A and B are shown apart, each in its own frame.
Chain A
Amino acid sequence: MNVPTMAEMMAQGKQPEVLFWVGCAGSFDDRAKKITKAFVKILNKANVEFAVLGTEESCSGDPAKRAGNEFLFQMQAMTNIEVLNAYEIKKIVTACPHCFNTLKNEYPQLGGVYEVVHHTELLKSLLDDGRLTIEGGQFKEKKITFHDPCYLGRANDVYEAPRELIRKLDVELVEMKRCKTNGLCCGAGGAQMFKEPEKGAKDINIERTEDAIEVKPDIIATGCPFCNTMMTDGVKVTNKETEIEVLDIAELIANAQDL
């Protein structure tokens, strides 16, 4: 696996095509690290010149902002922007819709103006440019349902890129009754990931997992490390672990080709 850092790139006087913003979950969470690696493998395979910030990356500030701590958010944003601007970054890709939304929509006003894409959007464009081929492999003819991450879908109107990638796997894409603009949240957004839910009748991720179970999929595809955690937990709690797998789209593509 080739993972150059921006510092290394700069030392060689090179500028990558795109910066891969790994995000906190992608860097530290055991489950999400697998997604990060799958995505890197695809980038390597497609010969994309990318780099990561490595230890110079810091939280985008999304959970702080959504919890109401605008101070902390802006401190994080401005620190990150200083680093990004020093490296003259033009384009950023990330596998986390929360980082994606914050970098794309909330950084520009603070001086951080970049082209920001979600990893499914980048993969889609690599596919369109003929730099990436997708095959079904072990997933051929499997039944897959896609859970729309709120910060990719409703927040930024990206619904088709992930679906087009899934269709390329030669699988049966089935939609849950609540999908796209009507998609139901997994329960992790707005800083909920880091706290216990308020008291209620049910956990949101269970409600959402039941939506998925209704369409009897072999795989629940996700495009967000937090959704992935929530849905994985949901599948466990509902005792469907043996029947349903929860995988990120990057993992589907990478695993299909045994990368």
Chain B
Amino acid sequence: MNYIDNIAFVILLIIGVGFFVKNIKKLVRNIQLGKEVDRSDNSSARWKNMAMIALGQSKMVKRPIAGILHIIVYVGFIIINIEVIEIIIDGIFGTHRILSFLGGFYSFLIASFEILAILVLVSVTVFWIRRMVLKIPRFWNKEMKGFPKNDALYILYFEMVLMSLFLIMNAADNHFQELNVGNPISQYIAPLFHNLSFTTINIVERTAWWLHIAGILVFLNYLYYSKHLHILLAFPNTYYANLNPKGKLTNLESVTKEVKMMMDPTIDPFAAAPEGAEASIPEKFGASDVTDLNWVQLMNAYTCTECGRCTSSCPANITGKELSPRAIMMKTRDRLEEVGENINKNGKFIEDGKQLLSDYITPEEIWACTSCNACVEECPVNIDPLSIIIDLRRYLVMEQSAASQELNSMMTNIENNGAPWQYNQMDRLNWKDE
């Protein structure tokens, strides 16, 4: 009978971690629905990017207030989680503060956790104020209604509750408080419990302890449903990010083959296609749905934490156009989840009459883009909304000839006279004598 706590703990842990692993497998499967793209080159530059941008938060501090507060929460999150190791050991074996044999070092650890916990509480509160009181515009764009708005708030509340539980747990631990080391914050909370009986304090301590670990497991499982996945995906996302100059767009290889054929006078256009040629014909040019995008673009969508720095620096969005780079990422994720659910239900993807283009992202949005790369530059975790926009444009133009009249005449001019305007190529050097 004495083992009931331990068993309950182990069951809780298995359910919590097991469910999380199950969802992560779904996440990986969904990302793998994307097309292949080779990002295995230049691993030293990739590790460096990950170290600087994800681990080192170098792009976060470009906006110093949010950046520094975020670093506090991030460092707090990682370091306080060391405490989870002890909680798990205690939970499984029924011990209490198993690591306290470390003596002075243990006190030092717990003391730093406490200080971080209070700093995280303050930072998270400021985050809440920035959202809900100061109403910083990028948190209130139109794509931030409903779940996206609440998602952000739930995460803040979660962190507030978890940090408070951690401090209460320490404050209500009589033995720990009597030692009076490693409790720089909780010593001020402890007096609240002085009037309570020993048993009641013990119940408070146990309740806080259980809620703390249960909360962590719930939060872990909330990640998959939330924008908060960035705490995991920021690392692979920065590692696999594009290393080329931002101005360089990919050249479609399938197009290169066709253009080379068109330009090669020795090729017989009426010759029978060589063996296996059909397999090499791409099913479409550009992208109309998430499965036409590559896996890095899909990972980008899951990594996006909807901070809106991209949108707040987008010239189209600033001037009131429909385009919001953040919404491009959110819609890509929404559609990907929908495709994933479809596969979960049917075993394979059954045509649902919907696609990313038009049903989620409208042509109006993608035609508003100036390809200025401000969104790519701004993203603290190197997400590339522009690459998705260009792939969608490619589909519209090459598969549907759905460019505007003005763009069509620009392209006709280039085709006919080698300039986007109607000037004769033979007049190209006239400026010399004007």
Which A residues fall within an 8 A CB radius of B?
A: 1, 3, 5, 22, 24, 26-29, 33, 36-37, 52, 54-55, 57-59, 61, 63-72, 74-76, 78-79, 101, 104-106, 109-110, 150-151, 154-157, 181-185, 187-204, 206-208
Chain B residue nearest to A76 (CB atoms) is B414
With contact pairs A66-B371, A207-B315 given, residues A154 and B428 touching in the complex (Cβ less than 8 Å): no
Whether A72 pairs with B415 at a CB distance below 8 angstroms is yes
Contact of A70 among B370, B377, B394, B429 (CB under 8 A): B394
A177 to chain B, nearest CB (A): 12
Q: Which residues of A contact B313 (CB under 8 A)?
A: 182, 184
A232 to chain B, nearest CB (A): 17
Residues B322 and A198 in contact, CB atoms below 8 Å apart: yes
**Which residue of A is nearest B402, CB measured?**
A68
**Residues of the B chain whose Cβ atoms lie less than 8 Å from the Cβ of A196:** 406
Q: How large is the interface on B (under 10, 10 to 19, 20 to 34, 35 or more residues)?
A: 35 or more
Bound together, the chains give a CA A107 to CA B395 distance in angstroms of: 22
B372 touches A150 (CB 8 A): yes
Alpha-carbon separation in the docked complex, A24 to B377 (Å):
28
Cβ distance B188 to chain A, nearest Cβ, rounded Å: 43
B345 part of interface (Cβ distance < 8 Å)? no
Can you pick out 12 interface pairs between chain A and chain B where the beta carbons lie within 8 Å of each other?
A24-B418, A27-B429, A28-B427, A58-B418, A63-B420, A64-B411, A68-B286, A70-B251, A74-B255, A150-B371, A192-B370, A194-B407
Chain A residues with CB under 8 A of B228? none
Q: Does B229 make an interface contact (CB < 8 A)? A: no
Chain B residues closer than 8 Å to A157, beta-carbon distance: 245
Give complex CA distance A55, B370 in Å: 29
Name B366's closest neighbour in chain A (CB-CB): A68
Q: Are A155 and B246 in contact (CB under 8 A)?
A: yes
CB distance B258 to A71 under 8 Å? yes
Q: Which residues of chain B have C-beta atoms less than 8 A from A59's C-beta?
A: 414, 418-420
Tell me the minimal C-beta distance from A223 to chain B in angstroms: 14
B353 within 8 A of A: no
Nearest chain-A residue to B260 (Cβ)?
A78
| Across-interface contacts of B423 in A (CB, < 8 A) | 24, 27-28
A29 vs B430: C-alpha distance in the bound complex, in angstroms?
11
* B396 nearest CB neighbor, chain A only: A68
CA distance A250 to B62 in the complex (A): 32
Inter-chain pairs besides A33-B434, A69-B398, A105-B247, 8 sampled, C-beta below 8 Å? A66-B249, A69-B394, A71-B259, A76-B418, A106-B249, A110-B251, A190-B369, A197-B368
In the complex, how many angstroms separate the beta carbon of B229 from the nearest chain A beta carbon? Answer: 27
What sequence of 0s and 1s flags, for each residue 360-403 of chain B, a beta carbon within 8 Å of any chain A beta carbon?
A: 00001001111111101100000000000010111111100001
B338–chain A nearest beta-carbon distance, Å? 25
List of B residues within 8 angstroms of A5 by Cβ: 429
- Is B295 part of the contact surface with A, judged by Cβ < 8 Å? no
Interchain CB contact (< 8 A) of A198 among B244, B249, B364: B364
- CB contacts (< 8 Å) of B432 on chain A: these are 1, 3
List chain A residues, Cβ under 8 A from B286.
68, 70
Given contacts A27-B428, A27-B431, contact A191 B410 (CB under 8 A): yes
Cβ of A66: which chain B residues have Cβ within 8 Å of it?
A: 249, 371, 390, 393
Q: Closest CB of chain A to B67's CB: distance in Å?
A: 14
The answer on a CB contact under 8 Å between B321 and A200 is yes
Q: Which residues of the partner chain A approach B392 to less than 8 Å between Cβ atoms?
A: 68
Q: Which residues of A contact B372 (CB under 8 A)?
A: 150, 154, 184-185, 189-190
